[in-house]
Structures are given as structure tokens and as C-alpha cells.
Chains A and B, each alone.
Chain A
Amino acid sequence: MIPLAHYLILGAVLFAVGMFGVLTRRNAIGILISIEIMLGAVNLNLVAFSRFVETSTLNGQVFAVFVMTVAAGEAAVGLALILALYRNTRAVFADRFNVLKW
């Protein structure tokens, strides 16, 4: 049986990959995808802890389902924003948008 540590390591790696993507990708859609990866890593941790630490309840797994639901909504909002940006500026690169400052 695969031990808890492996799940956690995989989750950490996935989170790190997602975070790297968020911080480095220029394409806003790529950033969105990277966020989804980070959420997936978190979900993996939640399910893993539910399986190995808190076996009596299904709290962690239910929480993971909620996260996925919210993630779907978040993706929809994010894509809508990107679409709006694209319509106005014909670009989807995050480094092109810096008007939201002083």
C-alpha cells in the first residue's frame, strides 16, 4: 500500500508546478490552468488525509468535491474575464495588463 508521504510529496510537487505556472505563464489561460493544477494538488492532500488520518468520516473527500465545484465556477468567471479582456484589447497576456494600480 502506498504510504501517506508519497501522496503528500506528489501533492507538493503538483502544487509547486501549479504555482510556478501561475507565476511565470504569460498567457492568462495558462495561469488559469495552473490554478486548476494547484487546486488538484490541494484536493489530493485532502483526500489523502481523509484516507489515512481521519478514517472515521468522509469530511476530506466531501470537501474535495466542494473545491471541485467552486473551481468550476471560478474557471467560468475567469474565462469570462479573459474573454472580456480579449475583446477589448485583442490580447490574453497577463503582462499586458497593468492598469489596475495607483
Chain B
Amino acid sequence: MELTTLAFLIPLLPFAAFVITIFFGRRLPAERGLAAVPAIAAAAGSTLISFFLLLKVLHGAVVEVSHPWFKVSEYLFTVGVSVDPLAALMLIVVSVVGLLVEIYSVGYMHGDSRFSRYFAYISLFVFSMYGLVLANTFFLLFIFWELVGLCSYLLIGFWFEKKSAADAGKKAFITTRIGDFGFLIGVLLLASAGGTFQFSELFGMAQAGHFSSSFLTIATICLLAGAVGKSAQFPLHVWLPDAMEGPTPISALIHAATMVAAGVYMVARCFPLFSASAEASMTVATIGGITALFAATIACTQFDIKRVLAYSTLSQLGYMMLALGCGGYVAGMFHLMTHAFFKALLFLGAGSVIHAVHEQDIREMGGLGGKMKVTSTTFLIACLAIAGIPPLSGFWSKDEILVAVKESHNLGLYAIAVGGALLTAFYMFRLYFLVFCGKEKGEAHESPYVMALPLVVLGVLSVCSGWVGLPWLEHNVAGFLSGGEAHGHHGPDYTVMGMSILVAGAGIFLAYATYIRGWIVRDAFSRRLGPLYSLLYNKYYVDEIYLSLIVRPLVSLTRALFAFDLAVIDGAVNGSARLTVIWSRAKKWVDIYIVDGAVNGVAFLTELAGSVARRTQSGYVQQYALMIVLGLATIVILKLLL
């Protein structure tokens, strides 16, 4: 089969699964998980094709095809796919995480009343993400970008009977829409300046200096707005922690492979544009850095297991943005990949814990390590990976990021990155120690086989996936992603590595000292620095600020507009309707009494005249003869007289 056909097949398989499941899923017995079969089969097929394509791309194949779709004046819209190293890597991430999450969901969603719909949505979600990854024009990218947003809305609000879930869905959708608006403007700016939506042509123009640098800065910052919304960067990060209201596997999917990865992927995809503008790159790096530190500090104070993970995702996404902004294209994408595996693992592990104890508050948990061997082991692997302990995957990718930031010679950002790494290690092990170590509280049991299997696979991936980026390797992921070009940095940077290990170890030790040994009293921080602690605990009051500065005024404005609408607009409409009714009543009166009256009057008169004149026509022949005679006589007499 042609490679292009295969590439098209990747998104089409989950789409077919979506169509089958949404229309016929209710017929399939959910009890034995049969409703999940189409979705999982499609995901498995896509995964196989993705690996096949990756192999081909590794051997230098480039899949790039465009079919014309429609044309509006001089703009030609095409449907096409392109599989370059970036897309091939991303396909692997999406397909592997998607497949494992779907398998896990069979166990997690067991017995849910909308079991089949869940798998339909998740297939649509994966389809959209594949489309987004494979898109080779901004136009297609935007379509799938919005589809991803829609799917996340549907899945975050999947348990829409719960008001908080429905609200979280809306919040996610509206918040990302704000960013998407900027994204759309950026796309249209680029398309109108370049006359095409095609990535390759636009990037070529940017590198050839076709655009002025101020134009590029504006356009890329507009694009960045979209990424900030989708990847939940500060200040549009507020939706992601609330998105925890969705089913936990969905959180894993959103946090690892689909929704939030889309923003980072888009920035990576548009890297030629961003790197052409120093200001835009600086903005990306700054936003990423702020988010990385900002979210990490919040994560240290949260008690909801999923919220800690959510803020850790924010922080890690900030790292990716920081790397991309500092020119670390490879570092950002590499971290996106490793993060996808260990963050999916963390969420699925958290789901497993929640499934076992029906509780999300980590203060109520403890000592689960003994009862949930698989979960606790894999969770520990993921924690080590995200904290950056060698030789696990997170170490290598975080190291790449630190090197990239260091090479940008921006000390402030470097300090933020290192500080974030310290906090990451601390809050992850705070979570681990509180949940799995210490005294046992309450009953728990290990999750079923279908849930444990993905954990194990992801655990292996969390350990190994970083090895493709070993700095000692001749052909590592950096060479692959940058197309074999020299990329400035070669070989290991031992100072950064040493620092990274030191910082991670310090973070873990801090957590150990606090939560296991009790050398540091747990609430020492909150007691000594109360205001700062409550600032962090309340997530810097960002939600409250948005609520009072944006949401409340908007709501009152809406109320006022509604009242205005009701009183003035509706009043005018109803008033004119009432006037029309009165006017038509008058016209009806005129019609009945004057127009019809005239017509009927004429008819009446004619009839009256007829009934009089009729009397002369008696039918008696002699009367007629008499009249003739009389008439004749009259004529003769008149003639004689005149």
C-alpha cells in the first residue's frame, strides 16, 4: 500500500470507530466491554501504522501529499497529510497513549451508563488529534484544533449530571476559545500575507525574509495565544485544573497526548516562524517559564491527587514552551514525548487509586503501597521520571531543556527552570509519600487486569523512552527531529546534568524529610508564612480575580443587555406587531364595509333594477305586441308633434 494511503488511514480508522460506536454502540453489550471493541481495534490499527510510518521516516521517507478541496478567489484549500520526523514522533505519542488509555478505560468505565458514548467520543478525540498532527495546512490544523477543543468539552463534561463537571466543560471550552480567537487571527494574518495556508510555503517565505519582522512578531504572538489557551499556559491555564471533573482516563489523555499537547505541537510545527522573530521566541519562553514556576508552587500546596497532577502538567508544559522559546526545538518535543508517557502513567495510576479507595484527597490516603503493588511501583517509576532521576526518561528530556535554556544565556529563565525542577521533585514525592507510604487508612484493592496492563506498559515506556535521546548516541532523537542538521549542542553537558540530579535529589530528600521522617514539621511552612501559603493554596487567586474582573462584570453586563433586550428590543418588536395588528384591523374594516360594500352595493342596485325592469317581460305575446304598437304610436305622435 502507498505510504500516503496509510497516512490517511491513521485518522480515518478512529473516525470509522467513532461513527460505528456513536450510531450502533448502544446495541453492543456494554457489560462485557464489547462497545469498546471498535474503538480499541481502530486505535491498535492506527498504532501499528504509526510505527510502520516511523520506521519509514527513520529511513528517510517523507510523506507529503495534498489534494485540492475547494477554491475561494486566489486561495486554494487543500486536504493533505505530511509525515515528517516531528509528525511521526507525535503520531507515536498520540497512538500509544491513546491505545493504552482506551484499554484502561474498559476497566475504569465499567458499568457506566454511557459506556459506548464514552468510547465514541474518545475515538473522535484521537481522530482529531491525528488530523491535527498530520495536517499540512493552517486551515486543516485549525479545523482539527477546534475539533480537539470540542472533544475535550464533551469528555470533561462527560458526567454532565454533576454541575461541577458541566461547568468545567464549559470553562475549558470558553477559555480555550479565547486563545483560539488569537490563533485564528494569526492564521488569517499569515494566510493573507503569504497567499497560502500551506505550512511549507509559509515557512519558506518566512525564512526567505518575505515577511517583515514586526509582522512576524504580531502573527506568531497571535498563534501563541492559541497555544496558550490549548496548552493551558498562564494566564489561560485556569481550565486545566477544573478539567479534573472528567473521567480520570480522559485527564490522562488530555494531559499527555491530545489536548494540551496540541498547543506545544503547534508551536513546534510553526517553529520556523517563531524562531524568525526574537520577540516572539522571548514571549514564548517567558510565558513558559512563568507557568513552569507558577504552577509548580501551586502544586506543592494542593491536596486533591488529580489537582496536584494537573498543576504538574501545567508546569511541565511550561517547560516545553520555555524550551521552544529558547530555541530548544528538539528539547521541547523530546520532553513532550517523555512527559506524555509518564504523565499518562501518573494519571492512570491516580485513576487506579481513586478507583480503589473512592477518594481524591491525599490526606485521607496512606499506605496504599502494600495493597496496590502494581500501581505503587509504576507510580514510583513515573515520579522518578518526572523528577528527573537518571536513567529514567524525564531526566534526559529535562536535561535537554536545561541545556537549551542555559545556551540562551538568560539567567532569570535558567533560575526558574532549575527552581521548577526542585519543586517538581518535591511535590511529586510529597504526593507519592502521602498516598503510598505511611500508615494504612481504610480498605483498598488492586485494580483489574485491563487497568494494570496499561500501567505496566507505560511504566516501561517511562523508563526507556528517554534513551532515544541519550546525548552520547550518534543518531539520537535530536538528529532525527532536526533532520540530521548540526544543532549547536552536541554531546553531554555534565555540569547541567550534575545540577539536575542534585536538584532532583534535594527535592526528593525534602519531601522524604517532611512526610516520612517528620524532621521538618509538615505545617511549618503554612504556619510561618501564612499569607504566602494561602496565596499558593488558593492558586494565586487567579480564578477569583477572573471571576470578579471578567466573569462577574460580563454576567452583569449580560443581565443588563438581557433586560435591555427584553424591554427595548422586544418592546419595539412587540409594539410594532401590535401596531400592525391595529392597522390591519382598520384595513379589514375598510375592506369589509367600503370595498366590499361598494361591490355588493353595485350588485344590489343592479338586482333591484333588474327586478323592476323584469316585470315588463311577462311572456305574454300579446303584451309585447301592444308595446310595439304603443312604441310605434309614440314615435309617430312625437314625429307629428315636433
Q: Which residues of A contact B (CB under 8 A)?
A: 19, 22-24, 31, 94-95, 97-102
Contacts and interface: CB of A to CB of B under 8 A. Distances in A.
Interface string B617-629: 1111110011001
Given A19-B629, A23-B626, A95 B614 contact: no
Contacts of B625: 22-23
Given A19-B629, A23-B629, A100 B619 contact: yes
A19 B621 CA distance: 13
A7 B167 CA distance: 127
Contact of A23 (B614, B617, B618, B622): B622
Interface of B: 614, 617-622, 625-626, 629
B622 A102 contact: no
Given A101-B617, A102-B614, A95 B629 contact: no
A101 B618 CA distance: 6
A39 to B, nearest CB: 15
25 contacts: A19-B629, A22-B622, A23-B622, A23-B625, A23-B629, A24-B622, A31-B622, A94-B620, A94-B621, A94-B622, A95-B620, A95-B622, A97-B620, A97-B621, A98-B618, A98-B619, A98-B620, A99-B619, A100-B619, A100-B621, A101-B617, A101-B618, A101-B619, A102-B614, A102-B617
A31 B622 CA distance: 9
Contacts of B629: 19, 23
Contacts of B622: 22-24, 31, 94-95
A98 B626 CA distance: 15
B619 A97 contact: yes
A22 B626 CA distance: 9
A32 B619 CA distance: 18
Contacts of A99: 619
Contacts of B621: 94, 97, 100
- The 4 residue pairs across chains A and B that have the minimum distance between CB atoms: A98-B619, A101-B619, A101-B617, A98-B620
Given A22-B622, A23-B629, A97-B621, 6 more contacts: A22-B625, A23-B622, A23-B625, A97-B620, A98-B618, A98-B619
A95 B626 CA distance: 14
Nearest to A19: B629
A98 B614 CA distance: 13
A24 to B, nearest CB: 8
Contacts of A31: 622
A8 to B, nearest CB: 15
Nearest to A99: B619
Contacts of A94: 620-622
Contacts of A101: 617-619
Contacts of A24: 622
Contacts of A95: 620, 622
Nearest to A31: B622
A78 B640 CA distance: 35
Contacts of B617: 101-102
Contacts of A97: 619-621
A82 to B, nearest CB: 12
B633 to A, nearest CB: 10
